[in-house]
Chain A
Amino acid sequence: MAFIRRDWDPVHADEWTKEDWIAIVLSPLAYIFLSIGTGLSILLLPIGFITFSIGIVLTILMHYVIDPKLKMISSEYEKRQREYLEELERKVRWEKKNG
C-alpha cells in the first residue's frame, strides 16, 4: 500500500489519518513560502524565485495528499447528511432544534 492513500471509501475518509496531518503541516509552510517568495520575487531577488517555487510545490503536494479524501468526505457526507440526522434523531431522541 502506498504511503499516501488516494483511494478512499466513505468509512475510512471520516477518520483523521496521516494524510490530514501531512496537509496540516504542509499548509502553513506553503503560506510562509508563498508570502516571502512573492515579495522577494517582485524585487527580482533569486532567493525570492526559489522560495516562491517551494511554496508552489508545497501547495501542489498538499492538494495531492488531501484532495481525494476531501472529495470522498464531501460526496458521501453531503449526500447523506439529512439521512444521518434523521437516523441519529430517532436513536438517541435528540431534542428538536428551533428553525
Chain B
Amino acid sequence: MVTFEFLDWLWIVLFVLVMVGSGILFYRLGKRSESDFFLAGRGLPWWLPASSVYATHTATDTPMWVTGVIYRYGFAGIWYTFFSAWCAISAFVSTRIFRRSLAYTQAEWNTLRFGGLGAEMLRGWISGWQVFMNMFILGWVGMAMGKVCNYIFGWDLWVGLILFSSVCAIYVLAAGYWGVIMADFQQGIIAFAVIIIVSGWGIAAAGGPGEIVSKLGDMGLSEKLNPFAFSGWFTGDFPIAWFITMMFIAILGGFGMGTSIDWYAEAQRIQSAKTVRDASYSIWWGTALVLIRNSVWAIAVLAFFVLFPNISNASEYELGWFRLGFDYLPAGMVGFFFAAIIAIHISTISTHLNLGAMYFTHDLYLHYFKPKATEKELVWVGRVATFVLLIGSFFYGLMMEEITSWLIFALWLMAAGIWLPNILQVVWWRFNAWGYLSSWIANLGLSWLVVWILPHFGIIPSLPDYQQFWLLMLLGALIYLPVTFFTKPEDMNHLVKYYVMSRPIGWWKPVRKEAERLGLLHELEKISLKGV
C-alpha cells in the first residue's frame, strides 16, 4: 500500500478532469460523420498520430513486461521489445501502400486487394476477429490496471479495471477518434515526461550511472550491460538463433500488413494522417519514441536490479519500475506518478474501444447489415459498439486469470503461420484470397499440432518458440502455395484497379503491363502533370 497526501490526490483529480474535458471538447467534430468518428476526417498532421502511436503502445502492462525481460536477461533483453521495429520498413512501404488504398480498415483493404467471395469471407473473418481481439486487449490491459491499483491502494482487482476504463469511455463515446487522438497527445507528453523523471530518480537512487556499472562489475554481472550477451548459437534460454529470428520477423515484417498485432491499430493512425508523408512519419517517429522509451526503462530496471538483485519471483520483480516510482519519489510527486499511470492506461483503452467499434460499424454493420445507413446513424452505431466493447472487456478482464494461457496460445496461433502470407498479399500479384484464407485455416490446425499435439505424443520434441515459428512457416507454405496455384488468380480488372490506386512494391509485372495496356498509368500521368 502507498500513502497519498492531499497534493497527490489533487494531481489525479486535475489530470482526470483535463483529460476527459479535452476529449469532450471535440464532441462536435466527432459527431459530424463516420470518417470523423473513426479517422478524425483523415486530416491530421504527422505528429498527432505519432503521439498516439507512442501513447497507445505505452500500456499499464508494458513496464511490467519490459522490467521482466531486462531484470532476467540484462540490457540484451531490449531485443524482446524490438518487435515494434516492423515500423522501420513499414513506414516507407506498407504504410504508403495502405494510405493510398483509402481503406478504413485492414478488413476493407482485403476487399480492395482481393475480389469475389474469398475477399468477402476474409473481410467478415478479419473484422469479427478484430472486434474480439480489441475486447480481449481491453480486458487484458484493464486487468493490469486492476493489479496496479491493488498494489497501490489494496483495492479489489475489479475496481481498477472498471473505474478507469469507464472514465476513458466518456470521451471516446462523446468524440470518437477525435477524442482519442487529442487525449493521446497530452497523455503521451505526460507519460514520456514521467517515464524520464521516475527512471532518472531510480537511477539516482542506485547511486547514478557510474555506480550501476561498477556495482554490476562487483557482482560479476557486467555482461548485463552488453546488448549482445547471448547464451550461444542454439543453446541456453537466450540464443543467437532466437535473436536472428526476432530481427527477421520484426524488420522484414514491415513489407507486409498484419505481420504484427499492432498493425491494426497503426492502420487507423495511417488513414487518419492527412498525406502519405504524414502517415509515414507518424509511424516512424511514434515507434522511434517507443524504442527510445524502452531503452530508458531498461536502464532504470538495471538500477532496480542493483538495488534488489535477488528477487526470484517474476511477479515481484515485474513491478520493479513501479516500485522505483512509489518507493523513491517524494511526497506530492507520487500522485503525479499515478496520474501518469492513468494516462498510460487510458491511452491504450481509448484506442482499442474506438478501433473495435470501427471494425463493427464499418465492416459488419455498414457492409453486411445496412449499406445505406446515414452518417448520423453510423456515428450512433459506433457509440453503441464502443459501449458494448467496454462492458464485454469487463467480463474478459475478470475471466483473464483462468484463460490467459489459452489466449496467449490463440495470439501465437494467429501470428506465426500467417506472417509470410501477410507479406505475400502485399508484394505478389498472384497470391489470391483463397491462398490467404487457407493460410489462416491451416495455421489454426498446424499450430496445435506443432505446439501441443506432436510433442505430447513424442513425434517431435518440444521446440523453443523461434523454432516453432520456422516450422509453422514452412508447413503453412506447403498448404497455401498449392491452394494459390490450383485456384484462379484474382480478376485482372480488380487487380489493375488496386495496382493503380496503391502502387504496391514487389512482383506485379503482369498487372502493371495490363494497366499500361489499358492506358491507365498513362492517363494518370497526364492527370498528374496537369496539376504541376
Contact with A along B511-532 (1 / 0, CB 8 A): 0000000111001110111011
> Which residues of chain B are near A23, meaning CB under 8 Å?
92
> Which residues of chain B are near A40, meaning CB under 8 Å?
75, 225, 227
Interface check A50, CB cutoff 8 A: no
B295, A39: Cβ atoms under 8 Å?
yes
A87 to B528, CA, bound (A): 12
B524, A78: Cβ atoms under 8 Å?
no
24 contacts between A and B (CB under 8 A): A10-B531, A23-B92, A27-B91, A27-B284, A34-B288, A34-B292, A35-B295, A36-B78, A39-B78, A39-B299, A42-B203, A42-B209, A42-B295, A43-B299, A44-B210, A71-B277, A73-B96, A76-B531, A77-B100, A80-B531, A84-B501, A84-B527, A87-B524, A88-B500
Interface check A1, CB cutoff 8 A: no
A94, B505: Cβ atoms under 8 Å?
no
A44 to B227, CA, bound (A): 15
Interface check A24, CB cutoff 8 A: yes
Residues of B247-293 at the interface with A, using a CB-CB cut-off of 8 Å, are: 251, 274-278, 280, 284, 287-288, 291-292
B527, A28: Cβ atoms under 8 Å?
no
Closest-CB distance, B79 to chain A (whole angstroms):
9
Among the stretches B7-15, B81-89, B348-356, the one at the interface with A is: B81-89
Residue of B78, B213, B500 near A45 (CB, 8 A) is B213
A92 to B496, CA, bound (A): 9
Residue of A39, A76, A91 near B528 (CB, 8 A) is A76
What's the A-B contact tally at a CB cutoff of 8 Å?
A: 147
B529, A10: Cβ atoms under 8 Å?
yes
Sorted nearest first, the 3 A-B pairs with minimum C-beta distance are A74-B275, A38-B295, A10-B528
A14, B503: Cβ atoms under 8 Å?
yes
Interface check B367, CB cutoff 8 A: yes
A76 to B280, CA, bound (A): 16
**Smallest Cβ-Cβ distance to A98: which chain B residue:** B371
Contact with B along A36-71 (1 / 0, CB 8 A): 101110111100000000000001000000110011
Interface check A2, CB cutoff 8 A: no
A34, B275: Cβ atoms under 8 Å?
no
Contact with B along A71-99 (1 / 0, CB 8 A): 10111111111011101100111100111
A42, B276: Cβ atoms under 8 Å?
no
Q: Which of A31, A44, A73, A92 lies at the interface centre, i.e. has the most chain B CB atoms within 10 A of its CB?
A: A31
Closest-CB distance, A89 to chain B (whole angstroms):
8
> Which residues of chain B are near A39, meaning CB under 8 Å?
75, 78, 227, 295-296, 298-299
A28, B34: Cβ atoms under 8 Å?
no
A43, B213: Cβ atoms under 8 Å?
yes
B291, A11: Cβ atoms under 8 Å?
no
Closest-CB distance, A97 to chain B (whole angstroms):
8
**Smallest Cβ-Cβ distance to B34: which chain A residue:** A99
B524, A84: Cβ atoms under 8 Å?
yes
B102, A81: Cβ atoms under 8 Å?
yes
B225, A98: Cβ atoms under 8 Å?
no
A34, B524: Cβ atoms under 8 Å?
no
